[in-house]
C-alpha cells in the first residue's frame, strides 16, 4: 500500500533536528505568519477539490458563446462547481489569519487525514524510533467495498476467473501455453463481481494512488512540508509467488510463472523489461554453441585449418549473428504483443496513472528552441566525441594503449552525457512525466549507442583511410611495411619487399596530393587529428599486414589480417567486458552502500532510543516487526529510489545497459565469437544481481502499467538494421578471404547483396510472423463468444429477477 510519511511539525517554533539545534532559516520559515490570501494560493495548489488557480488574463471568449453571451452550464456542471465551492469554503474556514506555517502544516495534515478516510481508505500511523518521522500506511479497509467503489469510479478493468468460464461451460483459451482470460471493466453487479478475479496488490495500489491524485497534488504537498515522501509499500517476503524468484539466485532461466510474479509485484512496465531480458538470455544461449565451434576451429591445438578457412567460418558466424538479431527483434515483438493482450494491457488506459508535472500557467506552446534544443545538444555532443576519439587515436601509437584510452574516453563521455541528458530534457519543457521519460530514453539511447559503436567503427573502417607510412623512396616504404613474421607461411624466396606479389599490394594503397587523400589529411591536420603528406616522400595508406596466407595453393597472392583487425579485437574485448563488469560492479556497490547506510542509521536510532523515554503507544509501535521493515523502505527511498541517477537504478538505465550489450554483440560479434559465450555468462549474473537489487535494495517503484516496451522497440529495430550493415562491411574490409584481391566495385556489389538479402529475410519474417498470431486470433474469438454468453446470462438473470 502507498505510504505517506512526514516529519512531525514542531510543538514550538523551532525545527527539531537529530543530534543538533534547529536550522535558523527553517525556524524563520515555520514562524512565518500566513494570511488568507496565502492560504488560498497554497490550498489551491495542494487540494484538487478547490479547482485550479484562476487565470490572471483569461481568454476574451472564455465562457462565452459566439454571440458574446455567457455560455450556459449544464446542471451537472453547475452542481459540480457548487460542490467544489462548498468544499473550498470548508477548507478555508479552518484556517485563521496570522497562523504560523507550522500550525498551518498541522491543520493541513488533519484535513488530509479526514479526506483520505472519507474516501474509504484507512490510515495506520507509526512513529520512527527517534520520533522525528511519522509514517502513514494508507490502505483499504478489510472488506473490498471501497475498492470496488473506486474501481467503478475509475473504470478499472479486471480479468475473468476460470470459474466464470466453467460456469458457462466454456474453456478459458490458452496462448503460448498460458491462460488468456477476457478482461472487463469493473461494475458493481453481484454476478459480474463473482466472475471477475479478485484485486491484486498492484490493483489496489493503483486505485489508491488514483484516488490520492484526484484529491491531492502530492508534489505541492511535499513542497509545502505537509509530507516528505510517498512510496508503495513493499512486502515481497509475504508474497509466496515471489519466493521462487528471489530465493533461488542461481535460477538461470526464470520460468513463465516467475515472470508473472514479477509483473504482479512490480507492474507491467518492469514486467515487460524482465520479459525482454529473459528472452534476450534465451536467444543469446542459442549463439553459445556456434560461437564455441568457431572458437574451437580457431584453436591450433585441436583443429588444423588455414587462417583463411577460419575466416570463412567467421563469415558464416557473422551471417548467423545477423539472422539471430533479426529473429530476436521480430520474435520478441511477436511475443510482447501476445503478452500485452494476455495481460489485458492492449487499449486499456484504466490502469495507467497519468500525472501532470507542469502547472496550468506552464502548459503552453513550446518554442522552436525548446523543441530542437535536444537534437542540437545530441549533435554537438557526438561531434565533440568524434573529435576526442580522433585525437586519442592520433596521439596514441600502441594498439593496447589506444584501446584502453578509447574505452576510457567512451566511459567518460557516457558518464557526462548521463548527467547532461536530464537537464536537456528539462529544458524541452515536457508536460507529463511519461513524455519526459520517453524523451530521456531517446536522448540517452541514441547518444550512448553512438558513443559505444563509433570507436569500433573508427578502427574498422576509418583507420584504413587515415593511417599512413611514409619514406623517401618507394623501396624504403615497402621495406618499412614488410614484416617477415606476417608471412611465416610463405617461403622466404617466394615473397619479400621487392617481389611483384607484395608490390602489387603496395601499389593499391599509394596515396598522393592529387587523389584527394592529401586534401583530407590537410583538413584533419588543422584540427590536430592527423599530419599532412610530407613533401617529396612516398606514402602508403591503410592498415598494415600482420598475418598473411596465400589465397590458395595455385594463387599465391597474400590474404592478410591487418593491424586494424587485431586492434579492433582488442578494443572490442576491452569495451564489451569492461562495460559488463562496470554494470555489475555499480549494482553491487550500490547494494552494499544502501545496506550499510540503512544498518548504520538503524543502529544509531536504536542507540538513541535507549537513551530517551517513549510513550506506551510509541513503544508498542516500535515492537512491531513490519514497522522496522517500513523504516528500511523509507531509508531505501532516500538512498535507492527507482529513479534516474540513483543507486536503486531506473527503468531507462536498466534497459539501456541491456540494449548496449546487445548492440555491441550484434554489430561486432563476428570479430570475437567467444564474446557471445562470455556475454551470456556475465548477462546471466547481471540479470540475477539486478533482480536481487530490485527486490531487496531498491525502494519498490510504483507498479506502472504498460502495453509493451514502448520506444525501446524502435531503438532495437534501429540497432538490428545497423548491425546488418556493419557485419557486411566487416566481411568486406576485415575478413581475410578471396575478397582481399577484389576491386572496390566487386566489394560494393557483395555488400549490397548482403544487405539486401538480409533485408528481404527481415521482410519475409515480418510477413511470416504478423503482429497478431493465429493462436491469438483463436483465443480472441473464444473470449468474444464467452463475453457474449456472459452478457446473455446476466440479461436472463435480470429478466428472471424482474418477473
Q: Mark 461-500 as b/e (b = at least 16 C-beta within 10 Å).
A: bbbbebbbbbbeeeeebbeebbeeebbeebeeeebbbeee
Quick one: pLDDT band at residue 125, thresholds 50, 70, 90?
confident
Q: Do residues 506 and 481 touch, judged by C-beta distance below 8 A?
A: yes
688-743 residue pLDDT tens: 888 888 888 888 888 888 888 988 999 999 999 999 999 999 988 887 766 766 77
Compute the average pLDDT of residues 476-497: 79
Residue 6 · residue 226 · CB < 8 Å: yes
With bands split at pLDDT 50, 70 and 90, how would you rate the model's confidence at 441?
A: very high
Measuring CA to CA, how many Å separate 628 from each of 225, 243, 463, 728?
24, 20, 60, 58
What local confidence, expressed as pLDDT, does residue 628 receive?
A: 59
Confidence of residue 4 (pLDDT cuts 50, 70, 90): low
Q: Which three cell numbers stand for residue 73?
A: 452550464
Q: How many Å is the maximal CA-CA distance in the chain? A: 111
Q: What is the DSSP letter of 483?
A: -
pLDDT at 664 over 90: yes
- Of 233, 138, 265, nearest to 636 by C-alpha is 233
The mean pLDDT of 227-236, rounded to a whole number, is 78
What are all long-range contacts of 711-716, with beta carbons under 8 Å and residues at least 24 apart?
711/438, 711/441, 711/442, 712/276, 712/441, 712/445, 712/655, 712/659, 713/333, 713/336, 715/441, 715/442, 715/445, 715/446, 715/449, 715/659, 716/329, 716/332, 716/659, 716/662
pLDDT tens profile 147-184: 888 888 888 889 999 999 998 888 899 887 788 899 88
Cell output for 148: 470496488
Distance CA 571, CA 594 (A): 34
Confidence at residue 38, expressed as pLDDT on a 0 to 100 scale:
58
Tell whether the model's pLDDT for residue 52 goes beyond 60.
no
- B/e letters for 700-712, b = 16+ CB within 10 Å, e = fewer, are bbbbbbbbbbbeb
Taken in order 247, 253, 256, 261, the sign of the CA dihedral is positive
Q: Quick one: pLDDT band at residue 78, thresholds 50, 70, 90?
A: very low
* DSSP secondary structure letters along 278-297: HHHHHHHHHHHHHHHHHHHH
Best-predicted range by mean pLDDT (332-336, 419-423, 554-558): 419-423
Assess whether pLDDT exceeds 50 at residue 622: no
The residue-averaged pLDDT of 362-369 equals 56
Specify the higher pLDDT residue, 557 or 247: 557
This prediction's pTM: 0.83
Stretch among 415-424, 650-659, 735-744, 789-798 having the lowest mean pLDDT: 735-744
Amino acid at each position: 500500500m502507498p505510504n505517506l510519511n512526514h516529519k512531525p511539525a514542531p510543538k514550538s517554533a523551532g525545527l527539531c533536528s537529530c543530534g543538533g539545534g534547529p536550522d535558523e532559516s527553517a525556524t524563520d520559515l515555520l514562524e512565518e505568519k500566513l494570511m488568507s490570501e496565502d492560504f488560498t494560493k497554497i490550498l489551491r495548489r495542494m487540494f484538487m477539490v478547490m479547482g485550479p488557480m484562476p487565470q490572471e488574463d483569461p481568454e476574451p471568449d472564455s465562457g462565452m458563446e459566439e454571440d458574446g453571451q455567457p455560455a450556459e452550464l449544464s446542471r451537472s456542471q453547475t452542481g459540480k462547481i457548487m460542490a467544489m465551492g462548498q468544499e473550498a469554503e470548508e477548507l478555508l474556514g479552518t484556517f485563521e489569519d496570522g497562523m504560523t506555517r507550522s500550525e498551518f502544516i498541522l491543520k493541513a495534515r488533519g484535513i488530509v487525514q479526514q479526506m483520505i478516510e472519507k474516501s474509504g481508505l484507512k490510515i495506520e500511523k507509526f512513529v520512527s524510533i527517534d520520533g522525528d518521522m511519522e509514517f502513514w500506511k494508507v490502505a483499504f479497509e478489510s472488506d473490498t467495498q471501497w475498492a470496488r467503489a473506486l474501481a467503478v469510479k475509475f473504470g478499472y478493468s479486471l480479468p475473468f476467473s476460470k470459474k466464470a468460464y466453467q460456469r458457462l461451460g466454456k474453456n478459458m483459451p490458452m496462448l503460448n501455453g498460458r491462460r488468456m482470460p477476457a478482461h472487463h471493466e469493473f461494475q458493481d453487479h453481484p454476478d459480474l463481481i463473482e466472475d471477475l478475479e479478485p484485486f491484486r496488490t498492484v490493483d489496489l495500489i493503483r486505485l489508491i494512488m488514483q484516488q490520492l491524485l484526484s484529491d491531492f497534488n502530492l508534489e505541492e504537498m511535499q513542497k509545502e512540508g505537509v509530507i516528505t515522501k510517498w512510496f508503495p509499500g513493499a512486502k515481497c517476503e509475504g508474497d509466496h509467488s515471489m519466493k521462487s524468484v528471489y530465493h533461488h539466485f542461481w535460477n538461470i532461466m526464470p520460468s513463465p510463472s516467475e515472470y508473472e510474479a514479477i509483473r504482479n509485484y512490480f507492474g507491467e512496465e518492469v514486467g515487460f523489461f524482465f520479459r525482454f531480458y529473459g528472452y534476450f538470455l534465451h536467444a543469446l544461449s542459442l549463439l553459445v554453441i556456434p560461437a564455441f565451434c568457431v572458437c574451437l576451429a580457431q584453436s591450433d591445438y585441436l583443429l588444423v585449418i588455414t587462417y583463411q578457412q577460419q575466416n570463412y567460418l567467421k563469415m558464416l558466424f557473422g551471417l548467423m549473428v545477423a539472422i539471430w538479431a533479426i529473429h530476436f527483434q521480430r520474435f520478441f515483438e511477436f511475443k510482447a504483443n501476445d503478452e500485452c493482450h494476455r495481460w489485458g494491457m492492449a487499449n486499456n488506459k484504466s490502469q495507467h496513472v497519468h500525472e501532470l508535472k507542469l502547472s496550468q500557467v506552464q502548459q503552453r506552446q513550446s518554442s522552436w528552441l525548446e523543441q530542437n534544443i535536444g537534437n542540437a545538444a545530441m549533435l554537438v555532443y557526438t561531434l565533440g566525441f568524434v573529435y576526442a576519439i580522433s585525437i586519442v587515436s592520433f596521439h596514441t601509437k600502441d594498439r593496447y594503449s589506444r584501446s584502453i584510452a578509447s574505452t576510457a574516453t567512451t566511459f567518460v563521455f557516457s558518464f557526462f552525457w548521463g548527467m547532461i541528458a536530464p537537464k536537456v530534457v528539462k529544458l524541452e519543457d515536457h508536460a507529463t512525466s511519461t513524455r519526459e521519460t520517453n524523451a530521456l530514453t531517446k536522448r540517452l539511447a541514441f547518444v550512448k549507442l553512438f558513443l559505444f559503436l563509433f570507436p569500433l567503427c573508427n578502427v574498422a573502417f576509418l583507420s584504413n583511410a587515415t593511417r599512413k607510412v611514409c619514406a623517401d623512396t618507394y623501396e624504403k616504404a615497402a621495406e618499412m611495411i614488410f614484416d617477415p613474421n606476417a608471412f611465416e607461411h610463405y617461403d622466404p624466396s617466394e615473397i619479400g619487399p621487392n617481389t611483384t606479389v607484395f608490390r602489387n599490394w603496395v601499389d593499391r594503397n599509394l596515396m598522393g596530393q592529387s587523389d584527394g587523400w592529401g586534401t583530407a589529411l590537410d583538413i584533419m591536420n588543422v584540427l590536430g587529428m592527423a599530419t599532412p603528406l610530407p613533401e617529396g616522400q612516398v606514402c602508403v595508406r591503410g592498415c598494415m599486414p600482420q598475418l598473411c596466407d596465400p589465397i590458395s595453393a595455385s594463387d599465391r597472392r597474400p590474404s592478410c589480417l591487418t593491424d586494424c583487425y587485431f586492434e579492433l579485437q582488442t578494443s572490442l574485448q576491452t569495451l564489451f567486458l569492461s562495460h559488463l563488469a562496470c554494470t555489475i560492479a555499480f549494482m553491487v556497490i550500490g547494494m552494499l552502500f544502501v545496506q550499510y547506510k540503512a544498518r548504520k542509521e538503524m543502529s544509531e536510532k536504536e542507540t538513541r532510543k535507549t537513551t530517551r523515554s517513549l510513550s506506551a503507544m510509541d513503544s508498542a509501535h516500535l515492537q512491531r516487526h513490519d514497522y522496522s521493515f517500513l523504516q528500511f523502505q523509507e531509508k531505501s527511498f532516500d538512498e535507492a529510489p527507482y529513479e534516474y541517477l540513483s543507486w536503486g537504478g531506473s527503468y531507462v538505465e536498466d534497459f539501456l545497459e541491456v540494449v548496449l550489450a546487445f548492440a555491441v554483440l550484434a554489430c561486432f560479434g563476428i570479430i570475437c565469437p567467444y564474446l557471445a559465450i562470455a556475454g551470456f555468462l556475465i548477462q546471466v549474473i547481471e540479470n540475477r544481481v539486478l533482480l536481487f537489487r530490485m527486490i531487496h535494495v531498491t525502494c519498490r517503484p510504483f507498479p506502472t502499467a504498460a502495453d509493451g516496451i514502448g520506444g525501446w522497440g524502435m531503438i532495437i529495430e534501429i540497432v538490428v538494421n545497423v548491425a546488418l550493415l556493419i557485419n557486411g562491411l566487416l566481411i568486406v574490409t576485415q575478413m581475410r578471404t578471396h575478397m582481399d584481391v577484389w576491386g572496390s566495385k566487386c566489394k560494393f556489389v557483395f555488400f549490397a547483396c548482403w544487405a539486401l538479402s538480409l533485408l528481404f529475410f527481415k521482410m519475409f519474417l515480418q510477413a511470416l510472423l504478423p503482429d497478431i498470431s493465429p493462436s491469438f486470433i483463436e483465443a480472441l474469438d473464444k473470449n468474444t463468444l464467452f463475453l457474449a454468453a456472459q452478457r446473455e446470462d446476466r440479461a436472463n438473470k435480470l429478466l428472471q429477477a424482474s418477473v
